[in-house]
Amino acid sequence: MSDPQSEMMRKGWDPEEGLNSLKTPLFHTSTFVFESAAAAERLFAIVYGGETPKLGEDVGFIYTRMDHPNLVVVEGRLAVWDGAEAALLFSSGTSAVFTTFLTHVRPGSLILHSTPLYGGTNTMLYKVLAPLGYEIASYGPDASQDEVEDLIGDRHLAAVYLETPANPSNDVFDIDLAARIAAAATTPEQRALTIVDNTFLGPYAQRPLDHGADLVLYSATKYFGGHDDLVAGVVTGASALIEPMKTMRYRIGTTADPHTAWLLGRSLETYAIRVERETASAGRVAGFLAGHPKVASVRYLGLIEDEDPRADLAKRQWSSAGAMISFDVAGGKEEAFRFLDSMRLIANTTSLGGTQSIACHPWTTTHSNVDPETKLRIGITDAMIRLSIGVEAPEDIIADLDQALAQI
């Protein structure tokens, strides 16, 4: 099957396994009964002792923190979307990021990240990992390969970590370039990985593994979950990189629970049609904002024109522009607040990627932990609004923006 939407629909669940239930049942249990004491011994030898199961051996489940049926089904379907060998589901996007670093990067080596980043990831890097001895450095969207390699110097690069498009500025980074930088820094002792947080565009529009990324990360709280009613994270990639993360996941307990996995599986069925509608609406909304006198600037992938230096990347790296828009209102924080407080349809809250349209003020919320000088340097102003377009009628979203902008 060529289309991931079709391929994932029946993957991983055979109705004959469960009373002919068309849909995957929710296995709401914390533990699994062993067939016998000897079967338990064999299971633990495989899971803890690293023994390889025999061909066709049914390994079974032990305990829900380690693995459970709802994980297996939804992970198989998530892997399809990214064209990946394997996927893992986590308790949050943040725990997916943390488990990735803990598994694949040793303290003392360098994580080179794109900037800006989601504020929580930025905080994890500088307030959690740096004090543990990890080296952290960053580069912006305009840096050349030479500049990035100078920045690395003789440090031991373990990972290039990209968030593209970046939260909240929609800055974009070249994944192929990052993969080349990682390849150049790879030594016989350690491979430098290219890791991409693909939360903003998702696999519907951008498949980082096709551009040389090793691991792809998501806050599944956003477009995969899509209804603002669950918190989860995803990592996809080659089995050789995913397997040690699975072990780390049960050791540190960052596994997603059955109910979350089940809900996510349900949401995945409508992932593409939600994103398709939201993207179409976002194009109309961005056009409206770009022509509005109370709007100082708009950052939206769909507004990149042929003469833009990013036009080549736009052709190569993503197939549609997504539904995240950031824009600066004319004025500053006061005008941004007045705008937000005047919205009636669009909700003032910090998440994104759900069915309801959402707007927030990154300066004082999602990125409040980033110091003001850094925020300005990386293009986050106190006039900026981050807007996530939902499934409402686009004309109603535009009408709400129009009336709220009129209050400035």
Ligand X SMILES: Cc1ncc(COP(=O)(O)O)c(C=O)c1O
Beta carbon of residue 40, minimum distance to ligand X (angstroms, whole number)? 34
Phi and psi based region of residue 327 (left: phi greater than 0; alpha: psi -120 to 50; beta: remaining): beta
Quickly tell me which residue has 């477009």 as its tokens: 223
How far, in Å, are 187, 223, 224, 312, 336 from residue 271 at the CA level? 39, 7, 6, 27, 31
By the rule CB under 6 A, 197 interacts with ligand X: yes
Q: Which is nearer to ligand X, 171 or 197 (CB)?
A: 197
Question: How would you class 330 by CB atoms within 10 Å of its CB: exposed for 0-12, middle for 13-18, buried for 19 or more?
Answer: middle
Interaxial angle between packed helices 175-185 and 145-152, expressed in degrees from 0 to 180 and rounded to the nearest 10: 40
| Contact between 383 and 331 (Cβ < 8 Å) | yes
Residue nearest to ligand X (CB): 93
| The residue to which tokens 């100082």 are assigned | 296
Binder of ligand X out of 67, 75, 82, 163 (CB under 6 A): 163
How many amino acids of this chain bind ligand X (CB under 6 A)?
14
Helices (H), 20-88: 37-47, 69-82
What gap in Å lies between CA 359 and CA 230, rounded to an integer? 19
Which stretch in 33-41, 64-72, 87-95, 273-281 sits in contact with ligand X by CB under 6 A? 87-95
Question: By the 8 A CB rule, do 165 and 115 touch?
Answer: no
Could you tell me the smallest distance in angstroms from the CB atom of residue 369 to ligand X? 13
72-80, 113-121, 292-300, 391-399 -> range binding ligand X (CB under 6 A):
113-121
Binding residue for ligand X, selected from 4, 12, 69, 93, defined by CB under 6 A: 93
Stretch that binds ligand X, among 43-51, 90-98, 173-181, 335-343 (CB under 6 A): 90-98
Please, which residue, 252 or 290, has the CB nearer to ligand X?
Answer: 252
C-beta of 221 vs 236, nearer to ligand X: 221
Query: Using the rule CB under 6 A, which residue among 64, 70, 92, 254 binds ligand X?
Result: 92
CB of 235 to ligand X, least distance (A): 11
Cβ within 8 Å of residue 227, ≥6 positions away? 267, 354, 355
- Interface map 217-256 toward ligand X (x if CB under 6 A): --x-x---------x-x-----------------------
Looking only at the bridges linking them, the beta strands covering 233-237 and 215-219 are: antiparallel
**What mask of x and - would describe binding to ligand X in positions 254 to 283, judged by CB under 6 A?**
------------------------------
* Residues at the interface with ligand X (CB under 6 A): 92-94, 118, 120-121, 163, 167, 197, 199, 219, 221, 231, 233
